[in-house]
Homo-oligomer: A and B are copies of this chain.
Amino acid sequence: MLDGLFKPRAIAVIGASNNPLSIGYIVIQNLAAHGFKGPIFPINPKGGSIQSFKAFKSVLDVPDEIDLVNISVSHKLVPGVIEECGRKGIKFAIVHTAGFKEVGGDGIQREKDLVALAHRHGMRIFGPNSQGVQNSDPGISAYANFTFVPMKPGNISIVAQSGGMGEVLKAHLHNVGLGHRMYCSYGNESDLTMPEFLEYYGQDEGTRVIMMQIESFKDPAAFLDVASRITPHKPILALKGGRTREGAVAVSSHTGALVDQVAMTQAMFRRAGVLGFSDTDEMIKTAIAMSSQNPPPGRRLGIITNTGGPGVQAVDESIDRGLVLATWSDAARARLKASLYAEASVGNPVDVVATAGPDHYFAAVDTLLKEDGVDMVMVNFITAPFVDLDGIAVRIKEAASASSKPVVSVVMTIEKWAGLVRKLRESGIPVYDFPEDAARSLAHMARYDELRRRPVEAPPALDVNREAAAATVRRHEGRDAFIPQADAFALLAAYGIGVARTVAIASRDDLDRAGIAFPAVLKVDSAAVVHKSEQGGVVLGIRDAAALRAAYDALQGRFGGRGVPCVLQEQRAAGREVIIGQAACPGLGALVMFGLGGVFVEVLRDVSFAVAPLSRQEAREMMREIRGARILEGVRGEPAIDAEAVETMLCRVARLAADFPAIVEMDLNPVLAYPAGQAPVAVDARIRIR
């Protein structure tokens, strides 16, 4: 439990001083200015007083019990004060001080020693090189952090890896008149880690929405576990920095993290039901909407507007983001007709016209919310000088309050009528500047509702020959190399993964013994030949024994000598090419990849990722998620592929990867998928075992 960290009864500030530029000074100022409910004990070797608080020379001199210390003394002094804190029985230390792992060299050991020292005293370290924590709960009011955005109560809790981005998130909530619940930016994550904060937020009743900014995962498995348990009852919105190669390098240069976490992030967010964002503003705006509105029970949006243009923008963006325009009953249309001005239009968007007043807005919002076919409502409003703005705000709120469906508003105005914006916000109706922003937030909320309600399915039970696979894996383990094709096919076959019949050909004599029916394919099978097709290492359409021998001789000639290993394979009928891949993911297990073959992967990068093992539901999602998904359903007169069979293959590959961590890479490319009733088969497979 992190109560001592987030709900401290007393705080000591070590490194407190009267220098207003020092972290110690600012922390005390922040704590005092926000009315921390417990006593604050400045610690300074000179004693005296700091900002009217009596200063102590050491925590050991403080008469009271202390839950939390903020430490900002030089890194050389940190071990000494930690030792004292330990003897005092303090359980949590926020170490602001830099000069540890992030500077490399000695700093790495310094950090390890620090954590070991703390643990000897049963103390946990937050940081070092960290910004601190906040809890706005009026009964606590702990601003144990050296930043500047004022704190006030709210129900969005924030965890940010970058202190700068944490400040940006808080500043924006502040600027729209909202507060936040808890906050932390955890620096080096030497001891206390991000999943622990997340878990604490998940259990906090005052937290309705969790917003996180992250650049690298120290412990992906722990994050996945914690996040998966939270999202069914509380949304997690996450901004992941470093989605481009250049962005990842920028992350790396300032956090020292591994470069490529993009695929892992996508896979984890899917599994955990986390809403991922690439745009900071979009995440904040969505969090704000979710802090007061329920997620919509479906994707059907009703739009109300008082001029046409913004309605069009709302429609375009909503459709682009996967929402659906609601339609309504004749009764609803009749009520709208009867309630609105004659010039109003009663389709979707409802145009109440510029001169509409409070009762018109009430009728429009209320009518739409009461329709079964409407899951959410967006009200666009360009302020007009001649209508009763206060009344409109009151009546929109009144209609919204009678429904559990979300209502958001877009108020396009100037500071003169900022009162309407304030009034709506205070009543809990989210207010946007532009219809497109509202549409994006609603789409994310609809997605969250689907995520939290999706069936939680276990990976399917599969008949596999684990012993046979284990034997193959054992035979290659320790070399960190791609294994021969025939072994790769055998390994797949052991897990019931359909493969084209394939036999290793070590010499010309093997050709006669192979027992592969014609037409057949002969391929070189050498680690040195990576792009077999492009390098002329594959002979297709071999129709008889003579052609087979000729093909063999040709390959031997092309690849410089006798005895170049080959495989002989039955040639399968053409099918829809797909790719199934796998890659070990340190700290998490294995990722599985799905994509359409050929240029779809290589040029369009149209692939999806998930964490192994897979449930059928997840395998299905992976297949649906690629841009070219409709191709699998059959286009241009071609039949649909047997999607369930491919799903099963994905689950089997994932199971194989999960069962044998030594398999660090699999690339089944292509897999030929066929219409219903015909099993898909891998016709080429590269497997690397470490």
Check B631–A280 contact: CB distance below 8 A: no
A533 within 8 A of B: yes
**Chain B residues within 8 Å of A618, by CB:** none
A551 within 8 A of B: no
Check B167–A412 contact: CB distance below 8 A: yes
Query: 0/1 per residue, A5-30, Cβ < 8 Å to B?
Result: 00000000000000011000010000
**A172 CB to closest chain B CB, in angstroms?**
7
**Chain B residues within 8 Å of A165, by CB:** 307, 309-310, 313
Q: How far is the CA of A436 from the CA of B279 in the complex (A)?
A: 7
A616 within 8 A of B: no
Among A243, A250, A255, A604, the one with the most B-chain Cβ atoms within 10 Å of its Cβ is A250
A241 within 8 A of B: yes
Check B636–A598 contact: CB distance below 8 A: yes
Check B636–A533 contact: CB distance below 8 A: yes
Check A254–B308 contact: CB distance below 8 A: yes
**Chain B residues within 8 Å of A627, by CB:** 604
**A599 CB to closest chain B CB, in angstroms?**
5
Q: Which of B254, B255, B310, B386 contacts A345 (CB 8 A)?
A: B254
Check B312–A635 contact: CB distance below 8 A: no
Check B534–A637 contact: CB distance below 8 A: yes
Q: How far is the CA of A351 from the CA of B278 in the complex (A)?
A: 21
Check B254–A311 contact: CB distance below 8 A: yes
Nearest chain B residue, comparing its CB with the CB of A380: B164
Check B636–A437 contact: CB distance below 8 A: no
Q: How far is the CA of A517 from the CA of B122 in the complex (A)?
A: 89
A678 within 8 A of B: no
Query: 0/1 per residue, A632-644, Cβ < 8 Å to B?
Result: 0001110000000
A602 within 8 A of B: yes
**Chain B residues within 8 Å of A599, by CB:** 628, 631, 635-636
**Chain B residues within 8 Å of A383, by CB:** 148
**Chain B residues within 8 Å of A313, by CB:** 165, 239, 241, 280
The answer to whether A312 and B604 touch (CB under 8 A), given A436-B280, A599-B636, A637-B531, is no
Q: How far is the CA of A349 from the CA of B242 in the complex (A)?
A: 13
Q: How far is the CA of A413 from the CA of B174 in the complex (A)?
A: 10
Query: 0/1 per residue, A237-277, Cβ < 8 Å to B?
Result: 00101111111001101110000000000000000000000
Q: Which of B246, B315, B317 contacts A315 (CB 8 A)?
A: B246
Q: Which of B167, B239, B347 contacts A382 (CB 8 A)?
A: B167
Total interface residues on A, CB under 8 Å, equals 88
**Chain B residues within 8 Å of A251, by CB:** 312
The answer to whether A319 and B244 touch (CB under 8 A), given A436-B279, A630-B603, A637-B531, is yes
A215 within 8 A of B: yes
Check A602–B384 contact: CB distance below 8 A: no
**Chain B residues within 8 Å of A166, by CB:** 309
**Chain B residues within 8 Å of A315, by CB:** 244, 246-247, 250
**Chain B residues within 8 Å of A434, by CB:** 168, 279-281
**Chain B residues within 8 Å of A281, by CB:** 433-434, 436-437
**Chain B residues within 8 Å of A149, by CB:** 414
A662 within 8 A of B: no
Check A316–B436 contact: CB distance below 8 A: no
**Chain B residues within 8 Å of A436, by CB:** 278-281
Q: How far is the CA of A384 from the CA of B251 in the complex (A)?
A: 22
**Chain B residues within 8 Å of A305, by CB:** 164
Check B172–A241 contact: CB distance below 8 A: no
The answer to whether A312 and B247 touch (CB under 8 A), given A164-B382, A253-B345, A627-B604, is yes
Q: How far is the CA of A354 from the CA of B382 in the complex (A)?
A: 40
**Chain B residues within 8 Å of A319, by CB:** 244-247
Check B309–A163 contact: CB distance below 8 A: yes
**A275 CB to closest chain B CB, in angstroms?**
17
**Chain B residues within 8 Å of A437, by CB:** 281
Among A213, A281, A315, the one with the most B-chain Cβ atoms within 10 Å of its Cβ is A315
**Chain B residues within 8 Å of A308, by CB:** 162, 164, 250, 254-255
A residues apposed to B, CB below 8 Å: 20-21, 26, 148-150, 160-168, 171-172, 174-175, 213, 215, 239, 241-247, 250-251, 253-255, 278-281, 305-313, 315-320, 325, 345, 347, 349, 351, 354, 382-386, 412-415, 433-437, 531, 533-534, 598-599, 602-604, 627-628, 630-631, 635-637
Other contacts beyond A168-B412, A250-B315, A603-B635: 6, CB < 8 A: A148-B385, A164-B305, A164-B308, A247-B312, A250-B308, A279-B317
Task: List 21 A-B pairs, Cβ < 8 Å.
Answer: A21-B386, A149-B414, A162-B307, A162-B310, A162-B312, A164-B307, A164-B412, A168-B382, A241-B309, A246-B319, A247-B316, A247-B319, A278-B320, A278-B436, A280-B313, A531-B637, A533-B636, A533-B637, A598-B636, A602-B636, A603-B628
